[in-house]
Amino acid sequence: MEHKGFTIWFTGLSGAGKSTLSEMLAANLRGQGYKVEVLDGDVVRTHLSKGLGFSKEDRDTHIRRVGWLCQLLARNGVIAIAAAISPYREIRDEVRSMHNGNFVEVYVECPINVLAERDVKGLYKKALAGEIKNFTGVSDPYEAPLQPEVIVRSDRDSKEQSAAQIMDALRRRALVA
């Protein structure tokens, strides 16, 4: 199936549901015959960004790499889906500018107290107690998007409702049928 490539960029705090929603969306789109690639921030970090830490400079470098790869895939007719915390607005905007309008930012919003309750690894509790330094949203900044194309609320809506909301937004923009 020939179709226009573009990037769906999920951003939000750790545990908000970016990876889950990106995989659901990818399965839905593949089921309709679209070429799709998911670039999960944690997975890409182990290959493309191996050796980078979590300083602002390293995080920015990682996001630029994921963004460049998404742009390359989108330019070649693939729907690239990125699921990365991507905490800094400036770098997300830089990635957006690489895409010449073929970019859909999805903000997966969820309050920290809900994320701490969901967190099976207990990372938020440790970060809130000061045991983990530079934890995004707790002791390191997270800059929410100012004008994302889609906002889903993972504390309020089911993952199915959120995925449907994203698909509706893609249809309204005539990116998918």
Catalytic positions: 86
Specify which residues 116 forms β-bridges with: none
Residue 100 CB burial class (10 angstroms; 0-12, 13-18, ≥19): exposed
C-alpha span between 153 and 133 (Å, rounded) = 27
24-43 as b/e: b if 16+ CB within 10 A: bbbebbeeeebbbebbbbee
Chain centre distance of CA 37? 13
How far is it, in rounded angstroms, from Cα 63 to Cα 61? 6
Query: Which token pair is 84?
Result: 């990365």
Dihedral angle computed from the Cα positions of residues 47, 49, 54 and 60, in that order, rounded to the nearest 10 degrees: -140
